[in-house]
Amino acid sequence: MAVFRKVLALGILMAGLLLTGFTYGPEEGNRVVYQIGFSYEEVPEDVRARMRGISYPEGCTVPFEDLRYLRMLYFDYNGQVQIGEMICNKAIAADVTEIFYNLYKGFYPIAKIRLVDEYGGDDTASMLDDNTSSFNYRVVEGTTHLSNHAYGLAIDLNPFYNPYVTHPNGGTVISPVGSEPYADRNAVFPHKIGPGDLAYEQFKAHGFTWGGDWKTVKDYQHFEKKQP
């Protein structure tokens, strides 16, 4: 059965490459190919142009040289192979590429992996669309402190099913709006991150911490790693 699954995965991977138009060849310049369909490199100029004024606003203190552009394959919620794009810090680029390769091998479903720039840099809009992303030069919601996303050191995965829960002034706020049922982590529903989940296990194995383990707020979509 294990051999069959590996053969099936390879067949789906190759079919996905043909359908999506992904091309693979020798490494060029600074591009690192981890596996077919999984690579990272310095942020290309055309991608920088897409980011400027959005996820990379004027006054951003993180140099482009500290960031990496990742491309990866993933299975969407319909089981179709898609190509994802992500920007993260160069310190975690190899880890993130390997994690998402292992998620792909495990047929782990991910709604979308798009640059937050496609949402105008609006984190709420990205969460509402259940988009998985990393770099966005922004503050933590409700504060003036830069988020670890501002450094590309955090990943939000399948955020609609794994909301951000805070308790301002003794109340409870669940983001994004509409994800309230998924704040109940005792409930059974798809795409829930937690112990035993493949994504949880992969990120933890690579030294990331999980926002679901935080004491005061809970950020069930969020994984982060401190810069060495």
131-132 vs 112-113, strand pairing mode = parallel
- Cα(195)–Cα(152) distance, integer angstroms: 24
Phi-psi region of 37 (alpha: psi -120 to 50; beta: other; left: phi over 0): left
The single residue listed with the structure tokens 């002034």 is 169
Give 139's DSSP letter.
Answer: B
Taking each helix axis as running N to C, give the angle between helix 93-105 and helix 2-20, from 0 to 180 degrees, rounded to the nearest 10: 110
CA distances from residue 72 to 123, 125, 130, 190 in whole angstroms, order as listed: 21, 22, 17, 22
- Please say whether the beta carbons of 110 and 76 come within 8 A: yes
Per-residue confidence (pLDDT) for residue 173, from 0 to 100:
95
Q: Which residues of 182-216 are buried (b: 16+ CB within 10 A; e: fewer)?
A: bbeeeeeeebbbeeeeebbebbeebebbbbbeeee
Quote the distance between the C-alpha of residue 127 and its chain's center.
11
Per-residue confidence (pLDDT) for residue 8, from 0 to 100:
52
Per-residue confidence (pLDDT) for residue 10, from 0 to 100:
53
- Cα(149)–Cα(122) distance, integer angstroms: 13
Residues in the chain: 228
CA nearest 135: which of 117, 109, 112? 117
Residue segments in the chain with a per-residue pLDDT below the cut of 50:
1-7, 15-27
Q: Structural domain boundaries of the chain?
A: 2-224
Per-residue confidence (pLDDT) for residue 19, from 0 to 100:
40
Phi/psi of residue 149, nearest 5 degrees: -65, -30
Q: Helices marked H in 21-92 — which ranges? A: 45-51
CA distances from residue 205 to 32, 75, 139, 157, 167 in whole angstroms, order as listed: 22, 22, 27, 16, 30
Per-residue confidence (pLDDT) for residue 27, from 0 to 100:
44
